Amino acid sequence: MRNSVQEKGTLLLALVAGLSINGTFTALFSSIVPFSIFPIISLVLSVWCLHQRYQNRTMPPGLPGIAAACFLLGVLLYSTVVRAEYPAIGSNFLPSILTVILLFWIIFRLRNRRNSLSE
């Protein structure tokens, strides 16, 4: 039970890191989106927490790939939301399709991983 909660925390931190890295990049380099310090703060905290987890615990097999997918999901999700809010940046069709595909892939991998661990 405890490992499952820690794994979900790692995946959530990877998602937040993806959201905040894209938010930081957009806040610093996009003239359309107003500047905010909060994506920078969340990026620093999420990366620091992920680094602490990496140093103090071993990652079970299969989790690093899912964590990387959660990171990419965060990047694509933030891009989709920003492009929907500011249509002058461009269409959000491709990021939204990739987000849905990646979300289904993550769910599929988590279910397969859970079934393989229970057997």
**Chain segment 22-42, per-residue pLDDT in tens:** 999 998 998 888 888 999 999
Rounded Cα–Cα distance for residues 38 and 67 (Å): 23
Greater confidence, 14 or 57? 14
Q: How many domains does the chain have?
A: 1
Greater confidence, 60 or 69? 69
Rounded Cα–Cα distance for residues 12 and 45 (Å): 13
Rounded Cα–Cα distance for residues 35 and 115 (Å): 44
- The one-character DSSP state at 87 is T
Question: Quick check: 2 pLDDT over 70?
Answer: no
Domain range for residue 22? Answer: 2-118
pLDDT score of 32: 85
pLDDT score of 1: 46
Q: Among candidates 75, 67, 65, 66, which has minimal Cα distance to 98?
A: 75
